[in-house]
């Protein structure tokens, strides 16, 4: 009984102010994190993105010459904004990595949003002893298209490496860059919502840019497509996206997504042929 009374007396004598201070110290021992974003005319998206990053110790934005309010919006959120000419997605993101100050680096696109569960998962990683944490963490990215979040298929929860320790690098390619880091990797719970759709006009502009990058890359590797492939490959892509990837379960948005994916392949094939024909002319 004396032992119990002694324990009760101990807890009664705890200074609540000291306890609060102790909890603050624990929070301060989290390994700091830098979130980084590359931008070009992202005024429509960037504020929502930055609101979900307010908990980060540092936000780095590398802008490649925006003519809208992107830079002003980023500055208003306290982000460190750097201007750098665009030389490809890999090079641009590596430049952003070099601008980061903290041991943890979080790669985010301007049209992506972290949900509460994902934020908590990342903060839990920060609270781990840095040496004991994995070298990199995959986030689960969910496609949002025409206002609909995809719940089925590959686009509903695609694993993508985004949270890494200092020392990671992106592959130096113009498009479809990959983040690479040596060491163990794990997957975080929560969702990274990717809403790249503003309008069909905007989406087609993006598609045109990406197909040009990929067509040039394929051509430089010696690739070309026959008339048969130009006709057949888009149809195969549609069937793969719509049926095998379960986009038929994502409603009308899933159908349009699959059709646009097929159109992407069609445009890429045509542009590769165009490069080849230009090269063959005297």
Q: What is the pLDDT of residues 61-119, one digit of tens each?
A: 999 999 999 999 999 999 999 999 999 999 999 999 999 999 999 999 999 999 999 99
What distance in Å separates the CA atoms of residue 246 and residue 264, rounded to the nearest whole number?
A: 19
- pLDDT tens column, 188-227: 999 999 998 888 888 898 899 999 999 988 988 889 999 9
Q: How confident is the model at residue 275 (pLDDT cuts 50, 70, 90)?
A: confident
The residue from 195, 214, 232 where one domain ends is 195
Residue range(s) defining the domain that contains residue 63: 31-195
CA distances from residue 177 to 5, 10, 54, 83, 90 in whole angstroms, order as listed:
63, 57, 26, 20, 5
Q: Where a domain ends, among 135, 162, 195?
A: 195
Total number of domains constituting the chain: 2
Q: Is residue 251 part of a domain?
A: yes
Asked whether 195 and 253 are in contact (CB, 8 A), the reply is no
pLDDT tens track for 37-65: 999 999 999 999 999 999 999 999 999 99
Q: Given this model, what pLDDT does residue 97 score?
A: 99
Domain contains 61 = yes
173 and 70 part of one domain: yes
The pLDDT assigned to 197 comes to 83
pLDDT tens for 148-158 read 999 999 999 99
Residue 100 shares a structural domain with residue 207: no
What distance in Å separates the CA atoms of residue 150 and residue 139, rounded to the nearest whole number? 16
Q: What is the pLDDT of residues 225-261, one digit of tens each?
A: 999 999 999 999 999 999 999 999 999 999 999 999 9
* Amino acid 17: pLDDT: 52
pLDDT of residue 282: 62
- The answer to whether residue 80 is domain-embedded is yes
Token pair for residue 151? 């719940």
Which of 164, 180, 195 is a domain's end point?
A: 195
The CATH code of the domain that includes 70 is 3.90.550.10
Q: Give pLDDT, residue 277.
A: 83
Domain check: are 225 and 250 in the same one?
A: yes
Question: For residue 265, what pLDDT band results from cuts at 50, 70 and 90?
Answer: very high
Helix, coil or strand: residue 165:
strand
What is the token pair recorded at 211?
Answer: 């197909």
Inform me whether the pLDDT recorded for 8 exceeds 50: no
């Amino acid at each position: 009984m004396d032992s119990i009374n002694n324990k009760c007396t101990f807890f009664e004598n705890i200074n609540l102010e000291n306890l609060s201070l102790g909890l603050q110290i624990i929070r301060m021992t989290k390994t700091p994190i830098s979130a980084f974003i590359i931008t070009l005319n992202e005024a429509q998206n960037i504020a929502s993105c930055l609101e979900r990053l307010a908990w980060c110790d540092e936000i780095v934005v590398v802008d490649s010459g925006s003519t809208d309010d992107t830079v002003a919006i980023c500055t208003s959120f306290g982000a460190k904004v750097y201007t750098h000419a665009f030389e490809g997605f890999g090079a641009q993101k590596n430049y952003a990595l070099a601008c980061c100050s903290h041991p943890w680096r979080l790669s985010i696109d301007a049209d992506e949003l972290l949900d509460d569960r994902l934020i908590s998962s990342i903060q839990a990683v920060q609270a781990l002893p840095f040496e004991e944490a994995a070298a990199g963490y995959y986030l689960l990215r969910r496609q949002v298209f025409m206002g609909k979040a995809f719940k089925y298929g590959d686009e509903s929860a695609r694993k993508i490496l985004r949270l890494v320790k200092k020392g990671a690098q992106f592959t130096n390619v113009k498009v479809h860059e990959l983040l690479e880091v040596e060491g163990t990797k794990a997957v975080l719970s929560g969702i990274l919502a990717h809403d790249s759709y503003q309008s069909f006009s905007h989406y087609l502009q993006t598609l045109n840019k990406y197909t040009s990058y990929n067509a040039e890359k394929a051509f430089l590797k010696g690739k070309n497509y026959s008339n048969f492939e130009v006709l057949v490959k888009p149809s195969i892509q549609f069937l793969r996206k719509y049926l095998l990837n379960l986009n038929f379960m994502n409603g009308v948005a899933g159908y349009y997504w699959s059709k646009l994916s097929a159109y992407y392949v069609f445009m890429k094939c045509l542009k590769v042929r165009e490069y080849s024909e230009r090269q063959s002319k005297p």
